Copies of this chain bind each other. A is one copy, B any other.
C-alpha cells in the first residue's frame, strides 16, 4: 500500500502480460453497494492478490453484529494480497475500479524467477505496516476532529502521489459512513466534525468531492507528517 509503485507497476505490467489475469471490475456507482460488494472475499479468493489500477478501494473487517472497521484505503498502484488466515476481512471498492488480479501461485513462480520482486513485496508490506501504525496512533490518541483531518491528509497525499491531481480539490468518493468506519467514530459524530472543519475553513467534503483551501494549514492542524508514506518526492 502506501508507497507509490509507478516503477513497480511497470514490473507488474511486464508480469501481467504473461502471468496476470487482468479483470475489469466495474462496480455499481452506488458507493454503499460497491463497498458491501467485496472484490476479494478471503474465504473464496485467498489465493489471489491484486493491484489497484484506478479508483478507490478499502479493506475492512465485518463483525457478526454488522459493525465495520475499515483498516486501510487503496489508491491506484497499491498492491493488495488476500489474507488466507483472516476470513472476516474483505476488500471492497468505493468507486469504479480497474483491478489486475494475480494468482498467488503465479506470484510464487515469479518470485523464484525474479528475486528482486520478493524484496519489493517486502518493501510494500513494510510500507503498509507503517500506514497501519499511523492509523493506530491516529485512532488511539487523537481527538475526533484531528483524527478526521489526519485521515483526509493521508488520503489526499496518497492520491496526489498516484495518478490523481489534488490541487485545492478533487473527487473523493468517501461517504460519511465510510469515514466513520475508518476513523472508529459514529456517523453522527463524523457529521458534526465535518461541519466544524468546514466552519473553520480547513476542509470541505461534500457531494463526493473535497475542497481544501490551504493544505498546509490542514496538515499543521492534523499534525500530519508524510514521511511515513515514503513518497518519492517527499525525500
**A-side interface residues toward B, CB under 8 Å?**
59, 61, 63, 67, 69, 71-72, 81, 83, 85-86, 89, 111, 115, 118-119, 121-122, 125-126, 128-130, 132-133, 135-137, 139-141, 184, 227-228, 230
* Interface CB pairs A-B, < 8 A, 6: A61-B137, A69-B141, A85-B130, A125-B125, A132-B136, A136-B136
Cα–Cα, bound, A140→B71 (Å): 10
Q: B85–A228 contact, CB under 8 A?
A: yes
By a CB distance below 8 angstroms, the chain B residues around A136 are 69, 71, 132, 135-136, 139
Main secondary structure of the interface of A (DSSP, over half): helix
By a CB distance below 8 angstroms, the chain B residues around A69 are 136-137, 140-141
Partner of A125, one of B85, B89, B126, B141: B126
> Provided the pairs A111-B119, A122-B122 are in contact, do residues A133 and B184 lie with their beta carbons within 8 angstroms?
no
| Distance from A140 Cβ to chain B, minimum over Cβ atoms (Å) | 3
